[in-house]
Amino acid sequence: MTDKTVDPSLRSWVEVAAESDFPIQNLPYGIFKAGGREAAAGVAIGDHILDLAAIHEAGLFSATAIARDNVFARSALNKFMSLGPAVWKETRGRISALLSAGNAELRDNQALRVRALIPQRDAMMTLPARIGDYIDFYTSRDHATKVGIMFRGPAEALSANFLHMPIGYHGRIASFAVSPHDVRRPHGQMRPTADAPPVFGATGRLDFELELGVFVGVGNEEGVPIPAAGAREHLFGAVLLNDWSARDIQQWESTPLGPHLGKSFGTLISPWIVTFDALEPFRAAGPPHDFPDLPYLQTGSDGAYDIHLEAMVQTPTMKNPARVCATNFRYLYWNVAQMIAHGSINGARFVPGDLYGSGTISGPGEDSAGCLLESTRNGTKPLTLADGVKRGYLEDGDRVIFRGWAGGDGYRVGFGECTGAILPAG
């Protein structure tokens, strides 16, 4: 059956600018506070938020599966996410109907409309879910190859396992924040030269990583892996993710184990979760694989998503940000279904609200590097941003801005912004 919620001709009675990230075909979920009220769930529509808790309280979900439980009157989306794809689709369809141009239920109920439709500028966004666990993957062949050449040479650029499984490590949940949020330059151990002892101080190689984060909706039982072929039934939606990285700290500590203090000081996500239902029209083929995937990793040929991504840097002296990366989510060697399949193949449990990152999303071109480590050759070839301003790595006061969107027929399904600035070390 055709999903009417992604019909390109669908229009809302709420005014939505042509270039908006949040047309009626999107309807991403988030948690917000406004007007002294408790935190609640909403969806973005144009420049506004539709308060779903207020809509539920008014009885407009009375004919749906969530009628008896106001799952939106909560400070996190975990309960709603746990209800599964049938409920997600039904609820999305109901919200879409309420906002559609020809539907008068909410449009002509002035009192409810005033209460439930809130300008985004008047709201404060919070983390959309209680994040129980976090895996950061390493799935871009372009990124892994270029960084591998930098440190190990062309012959050993890719590790032997990269082309056979999605590689990942666990990060620190308490360090997550929702955009906009600034990060303080961290301290740690570094070893500037191989023939000298390590030193302690503030990182001099602070970097961003342009990623997408994927939220798990429905989990699995202990000992029961999630197959790649059915993984989308478990995945709720995606956000922009910036896994801030201190490269000098990371390089010294990552022998022999993976990143620790070089990553755990801060991870930033955009506030709106764009559902995979909204992204369904943008399914695409990913890169061909060099070897046949093992059975548990096998998916269809359209396992990727055509999502445009860009990173910008704005220094304190610049009036406007300069774009330093333009890439696409479809470039990743391993797709979202394969990541969760691999993460659960040993029987590990995923629960609603768990999050995993795609890893740095780089493409084949010189301008598609998803981090400064790659684009500046570890700071040795600084980028020229504007008016002669150069950056090898981020300096205090610099702001990083991520944007992402999938282009539809006359509309775009966007993620909003993920932005933060660098504060001086304490």
Tokens for 65, please give them. Answer: 């599966």
143 is catalytic: yes
Bridge partners (DSSP) of residue 200 are 189
Percent over 70 (pLDDT), the chain = 100
Q: Is the peptide bond before 256 cis (omega within 30 degrees of 0)?
A: yes
Exactly one of 143, 181, 308, 342 is catalytic; name it: 143
Q: How far apart are CA 360 and CA 325, in angstroms?
A: 11
pLDDT digits 0-9 by tens, 246-282: 999 999 999 888 889 999 999 999 999 999 999 999 9
Tokens for 229, please give them. Answer: 């072929």
CA 79 to chain centroid: 20
- Mean pLDDT, the chain, rounded, equals 96
Please give the C-alpha separations between residue 157 and each of 54, 104, 144, 327, 367, in angstroms, as whole numbers. Answer: 54, 59, 7, 21, 20
1-4 LR contacts (CB < 8 Å, sep 24+) = 3/89, 3/277, 3/280, 4/93, 4/96
Please give the C-alpha separations between residue 249 and each of 195, 201, 354, in angstroms, as whole numbers. Answer: 17, 10, 27
Bridge partners (DSSP) of residue 240 are 212
- Count CB atoms within 10 A of the CB of residue 221: 8
Residue 1 pLDDT: 41
pLDDT digits 0-9 by tens, 39-92: 999 999 999 999 999 999 999 999 999 999 999 999 999 999 999 999 999 999
pLDDT average, residue stretch 1-17: 91
Tokens for 368, please give them. Answer: 């598609």
What's the longest Cα–Cα distance across the chain? 74
Residue 367 pLDDT: 95
Q: How far apart are CA 280 and CA 214, in angstroms?
A: 15
Please name the CATH architecture into which domain 134-423 falls.
Alpha-Beta Complex (3.90)
- Cβ(306)–Cβ(331) under 8 Å? no
Is the pLDDT at 30 greater than 50, yes or no? yes
pLDDT digits 0-9 by tens, 134-160: 999 999 999 999 999 999 999 999 999
Domain ranges, ordered by start, for the chain: 4-126, 134-423
Tokens for 378, please give them. Answer: 């570890």
Please name the CATH architecture into which domain 4-126 falls.
Roll (2.30)
